[in-house]
A and B are shown apart, each in its own frame.
Chain A
């Protein structure tokens, strides 16, 4: 007894669905309606934290000395990174490794790896300390960046980091990168009498 009613409902539902489909396809054929709200760069200032390298575009005003950086590091960083960034309970050493890339054991630290010093400022400001990211002032970020660079022997103990001085630091790995040039392998589709896979 119920089937005619169900049939009727199904047909009604079908019409509704067909209606939806028709509306959708019409909308899809026309240009998307603009939904974004105009915003100014000034409104986005607090978000606009990126620093580009090598030119340092985006580095803010401010300054910080290596000595001030040690104080910031000891208070806010050493509990994870260890004293003098030598490695701690959360992260390994951030010192050394310069010259290791031509050996079998490459040691990656900000000193050995970063091509440009402002990269470190950018990362510290956006992501550190891990339990309170974006909590450091620009002066603190400059200072702690200077301290880590000094621990790596890249700036003097009395250095003061600013946008200009940080951008001027010569990092040992500045010429260490090459842009993707793959495909770089030369495998062919061998089907018989092939070289065995080197594994077990």
Chain B
């Protein structure tokens, strides 16, 4: 047994141990994984001691049988052993109906930086429409020289652009400012996803319609039951906004805006209007319900901050995270960092509740307005610890703590734009818990 091979086995066993602790919603699977991990650890110990395993390693049953035949046509699905990896509705703020509701991405079960289409978080205001792309129309009108109407066929004939970007709901984390309400990172941070988005630059279509010089704002509106709409500054639309019809190589899923959505890189998800039916240009913002009564931030003296579009730099440790169990020894801390205003420059990790910090390793590629992976190896001695990460983006902005945010904003009720440093505590038993408060 070569050293590299045995170290691979050790790391495989270790990741299984971590996985065993990460499954919070399926006790059967947790028990099964626990047994597997214990067996793997036993095998590794035997190998590491330089002795032959007591029993020969059996040939897998899959070697001894004919596999499944190829169906004539198929849309491939994940292994049945991955059936526990699911979006989940909020289990903290349980809504009285599930039409204006949200579901969250299992960040602790995401590998790499892209979120599979079926796991991209959802926020709907009146449920999910099923729109026939042949019937769908998209209009540009208002302060343009020539109002235009597009079919999906029209739109898909433009030279496409494809970009990697995260998308995050402004309400991500709203249940966990001053109280540790959520258990898992899926519930604390899962209104966050990242995908490869394909479509047409908004600027291409606006150029064709001819933007009148007085146009400074645009209204974007969906074809859903909420006709969800937002006012968006023209400057951002022209800078990098896209009309998107595909994510991760296939047409958008219905719940993500099929057949057409707006995508505004780095800004709160609700401005990336799904099921997009029109963009209307104007010379002032509209002040709709969704930008006054909702999606505004409480400020001191009873005020509200409006049009707080950008998602500022943020990070979170996804492993170990809430609901997992760890054992003393080598632990690889893993997490995501992202910024709506640029690239991630640095991520620091604390292992002592914020007293000292050390720089984590960033995994390439580090892309603009995209999830970035960080990692740090840590030898945990088994004494209780509080771990957290802190991101710094290419503008030099440093992710604040909740305490630092509280100095300048009012944290009362369900507050948007929680980008605070997020601590997890690990007790002597190795249980990882939400330690935001």
Contact = CB atoms under 8 A, between A and B. Distances in A.
Contacts of B154: 35-37
Interface centre among A34, A119, A180, A198 (most CB of B within 10 A): A198
A19 interface: no
A130 interface: yes
A64 interface: no
Interface stretch (B27-35, B252-260, B276-284, B364-372): B276-284
Contacts of A113: 292-293
Interface in A99-121: 101-102, 104-106, 108, 110, 113-116, 119-120
Given A39-B149, A104-B412, A179-B307, A133 B225 contact: yes
A190 interface: yes
Interface in B301-331: 301-310, 312
A32 B403 CA distance: 50
Interface stretch (B10-18, B59-67, B109-117, B354-362): B354-362
Interface in B176-208: 180, 204-205, 208
B125 interface: yes
Contacts, number: 229
B305 A178 contact: yes
Contact of A101 (B125, B140, B302, B397): B302
B69 interface: no
A196 B308 contact: no
Contact of A180 (B96, B139, B305): B305
Nearest to A125: B227
A126 B227 contact: yes
Interface residues of A, number: 71
A126 B229 contact: yes
B80 interface: no
Interface string B406-437: 01110011000000010101000000010111
Given A180-B307, A193-B355, A195-B354, A200 B386 contact: yes
A110 B356 CA distance: 47
Given A181-B305, A197-B388, A127 B125 contact: yes
A3 interface: no
A114 B294 CA distance: 10
Nearest to B354: A197
Contacts of A34: 208
Nearest to A51: B286
B423 A197 contact: yes
Nearest to A37: B149
B358 to A, nearest CB: 8
A33 B156 CA distance: 12
B371 to A, nearest CB: 21
B398 A187 contact: yes
A90 B243 CA distance: 33
Contacts of B386: 197, 199-200
Given A176-B303, A182-B310, A133 B226 contact: yes
Given A54-B287, A197-B401, A180 B149 contact: no
A36 B209 contact: yes
A189 B293 contact: no
Nearest to A53: B287
A192 B100 CA distance: 45
Nearest to A101: B302
Interface string A6-49: 00000000000000000000011000111111111101100111
A174 B307 CA distance: 16
Contact of B312 (A47, A108, A183): A183
Q: Which 8 A-B pairs have the closest CB atoms?
A: A36-B148, A101-B302, A197-B354, A185-B400, A187-B400, A35-B154, A200-B435, A126-B227
Interface of A: 27-28, 32-41, 43-44, 47-54, 89-91, 101-102, 104-106, 108, 110, 113-116, 119-120, 122-123, 126-127, 130, 133-134, 173, 176-200
Given A189-B398, A199-B180, 20 more contacts: A36-B205, A36-B208, A38-B148, A38-B149, A52-B282, A89-B96, A126-B226, A127-B125, A133-B227, A176-B302, A182-B312, A184-B408, A187-B390, A194-B356, A194-B357, A195-B403, A197-B353, A198-B402, A199-B436, A200-B437
21 contacts: A35-B208, A36-B146, A38-B149, A43-B149, A47-B139, A115-B292, A127-B126, A127-B228, A133-B227, A134-B227, A173-B304, A177-B292, A179-B305, A183-B312, A187-B390, A187-B404, A191-B348, A196-B353, A197-B386, A199-B386, A200-B435
